[in-house]
Amino acid sequence: MRPARPFRFPGIDEDIARLSRLLRLALRAADWSPPARPAALNLACGRADETGLLVETLAPAAGPLFLLGIDLRGPEIQEARSRWLPACRPGQELDFRAGDASRVDRMRQLPPFDFIFIRHQNFWHDPEVWTRLYRHAVDALKPDGLLAITSYFDREHELASACLRQLGTAPAADLPHPHSRPLNDAPGKSVDRRLALFRQAS
């Protein structure tokens, strides 16, 4: 799905293409394929630049889906709306809301989700909030659903993964990205440096 307006910065197109390949590989490793009309949640989504790749991966051949993105930052949510809402196909329901993604337990009328995505998760920044965010995300998954995280740096990825295991999930895939784009002002950090998938432990 092509965005209705260009991405904000040069290089994002390439980041998204790399992330798309990484996610597809991880889903294959986890032996997971989306259902006929997947319900997906993109938590702490920011501008949600990855929306097109999520739609294409979860709803191949422009099939139907429901995808909701949530972030605290209103301007980023507005930008996501303007880029993606005009781009979606009939039967594809996209929604972006400004709000606290650690409180999906309080959002009435959300369906159970087949796939929950958290790109560049921020566990390091505030473990308490992010533990709550993960707990409610795990609770919002269907029994056979998958939760995906990506991380800018290895230590944060390990901490988030440990937290998710403690919350009763089992890792389904964990892939480093050999060609992720380094952040010039942050040594050791790179775009989608790691991607991991979790499912509810049986």
Whose Cβ is closer to ligand SAM: residue 91's or residue 182's? Answer: 182
Backbone φ and ψ for 199, nearest 5 degrees, come out as -130, 160
Residue 109 tokens, joined: 């009328």
Whose Cβ is closer to ligand SAM: residue 120's or residue 177's? Answer: 120
State which residue has the least CB distance to ligand SAM.
46
Q: Which of the residues 113 through 142 are near ligand SAM (CB under 6 A)?
A: 119-120, 122, 129, 133
Each residue 33-52 as x (binds ligand SAM by CB under 6 A) or -, in order, gives: -----------xxx------
What's the burial of 119, exposed, middle or buried (CB within 10 Å: 0-12/13-18/19+)?
Answer: buried
Each residue 172-191 as x (binds ligand SAM by CB under 6 A) or -, in order, gives: --------------------
Q: Which of 30, 63, 89, 100 binds ligand SAM (CB under 6 A)?
A: 100
Whose Cβ is closer to ligand SAM: residue 37's or residue 132's? Answer: 132
Q: Is 147 in the site for ligand SAM (CB under 6 A)?
A: no
Q: Is 77 in the site for ligand SAM (CB under 6 A)?
A: no
Q: Is 73 in the site for ligand SAM (CB under 6 A)?
A: yes
Cβ-Cβ contacts under 8 Å for 135 (sequence gap 6 or more): 167
Residue 189 CB neighbours (<10 A): 17
* Maximum separation of any 2 CA atoms in the chain, in Å: 43
d(CA 192, CA 172): 17
Instruction: Report the relative pairing of strands 194-200 and 141-151 from DSSP bridges.
Output: antiparallel
Least Å distance, CB 36 to ligand SAM, is 27
- CA-based nearest residue to 50, from 85, 95, 88, 80: 80
Cα of 190 vs its chain's centroid, Å = 17
Least Å distance, CB 44 to ligand SAM, is 3
Give me the residues that bind ligand SAM (CB under 6 A), please: 44-46, 70-73, 76, 100-102, 119-120, 122, 129, 133
